[in-house]
Amino acid sequence: MTIRWQYRTTTETQRLDEWGEQGWELVSVVIVDGREKLYFKKPAPSIREQITLEQRSQVIGETREDSEA
C-alpha cells in the first residue's frame, strides 16, 4: 500500500503545537531571504476517512445552521 502525503509550508511558528496535535510532522527548515520556512507533512486520509470527514463536516454545518435559525 502506498502512503499519500499532504504538505504544508509556513513561516509562522506560533501554531506548531496545534499542527503537531493534528498530525503534521516537521520535515525541514530552510532559510529564505533571512526567514525560516518550515515544511510539514502528514499522511493523507484514505478515501474512506475522507468521505467520513466530509460527511461529518456537512452534519456539523447543518447542525450549526439549524441552531442559528
Instruction: Provide DSSP, 23-53.
Output: T-EEEEEEEETTEEEEEEEEEPPPHHHHHHH
pLDDT per residue over 7-61, tens digit each?
Answer: 999 999 899 999 999 999 999 999 989 999 999 999 998 877 777 778 878 877 7
Between 69 and 34, residue with greater pLDDT? 34
- pLDDT of 65 higher than 60: no
Prediction pTM value: 0.64
pLDDT of residue 48: 76
**What confidence score (pLDDT) does residue 1 get?**
66
Query: Can you give the pLDDT at residue 62?
Result: 67
